[in-house]
Structure 1
Amino acid sequence: MTRPDHTNAPRVTGTDPLTLVVGVHLVLSDDGTVLLGRRRNTRYAEGLWHLPAGHMEPGEAVTRSMAREAEEELGITIAEDDLELVHTLHHLDADRSRLQLFFRPTRYEGRVRNAEPHKCAELRRWPLDRLPEDIVPYTAHALGEIARSNPLSTVGWPA
């Protein structure tokens, strides 16, 4: 018996699986610190500290998305093979399901700089054990889980 191939099946409105928003986050940590940026002119978390991050674009692999965001936001080049997935967070935010993927580069080229000053007021390294109080809550959660070597967590879902 062969299994049906659903890759070319037509989409039927109302029966598609749940659509997730997928975010990618770069964890640049060194000597017990992590690089965070203060968000500016954004629709989400204005003025809060957050990891360099973005969303996948249609037709883009998650590793390509992360490499693209690193270049756009920090001016560094990361080969997709040099990205290590260190945490996955399934986040329910305002009734929207989000899958947040956190990557650590094993190496990169270039010098880290604020390449998007219109979206980032400043970049700063923070001690992992003394993160700022005005940080995006799920970012603080994920960094704590990464420190505990926990590969998966959930936030915002009813108990």
Structure 2
Amino acid sequence: MAKFSVSLKARLFLHDHGKLLLLKQTKPNGGNYSLIGGTIERKEFAIQTLIRESQEEAGIELSEDDLELVHVLHKRSAKEHRIVLYFRAYHYDGTPESKELEKFENVEWWSLKELPKNLTGTVRHVLKAYNAGLIYSHLRK
């Protein structure tokens, strides 16, 4: 049987008055809109990852009580399986701003009814599944 790796990630749907917080990637990083989040580190749980990444990427503070698991994505390629846990939050402290300017040129609030055309395909897929009430979906890379 062929060996493959598994990576675990966590992402955040941060809502505020019908809007979703998105990160605008710099052009060298794709130039698309994405979500706060990242790889779950060896000594972290997913919620801890999101609390850390929210501070590092957008300068906002979350607490564990703010986060609710709403979707699981299983993404697969020939060499890797990626499991992404999507959490939702409505409360945060601070003012969102890009803290990693080499990765993200801006943070922006977007209406859930009018998302940007250059939203990453993965985020678009997950939002569609999430809005349909699905707790799980999968994609092939």
Please report the TM-score for the alignment, with normalisation by the length of structure 2.
0.86
Distance 1:145 1:125 in 2: 21
Do structure 1's residue 28 and structure 2's residue 17 form an aligned pair? Answer: no
- CA distances 1:14-71 after superposition (whole Å, capped 9, x unpaired): 998x6421111111123332111111276xx511111112111112111111110011
- CA distances 1:83-124 after superposition (whole Å, capped 9, x unpaired): 111111101246421111111124222222212222101111
Please name the residue that 2:120 is paired with. 136
- Kindly report the root-mean-square deviation, in angstroms, between the aligned alpha carbons of the 2 structures: 2.3
Decide which structure has greater helix share: 2
Question: % of aligned pairs identical?
Answer: 30
Please report the TM-score for the alignment, with normalisation by the length of structure 1.
0.78
Report matched runs for 1:77-92 at 5 Å: 77-92=61-76
Report matched runs for 1:2-151 at 5 Å: 19-40=5-26, 46-93=30-77, 95-151=79-135
Which letter does structure 1 place at the counterpart of 2:36? P
Contact kept in structure 1, 2:60 and 2:96, CA below 8 Å: yes
Please name the residue that 1:4 is paired with. none
Computing the radius of gyration from Cα coordinates, the structure with the larger value is 1
Partner-residue secondary structure (3-state), 1:99: strand
Q: Which runs of 5+ in 2 are unaligned?
A: none
Contact kept in structure 2, 1:86 and 1:104, CA below 8 Å: yes
Decide which structure has greater strand share: 2
Distance 1:109 1:35 in 2: 14
Specify which structure has the bigger relative contact order, considering alpha-carbon pairs within 8 angstroms and separated by 6 or more residues.
Answer: 2
Partner-residue secondary structure (3-state), 1:77: coil
The aligned length equals 141
Contact kept in structure 1, 2:16 and 2:90, CA below 8 Å: no
Q: Which runs of 5+ in 1 are unaligned?
A: 1-13
Please name the residue that 1:152 is paired with. 136
Which letter does structure 2 place at the counterpart of 1:149? G
Sort the Cα spacing of 1:118 and 1:156 in 2 relative to 1 into closer, same or farther, 3 A.
same
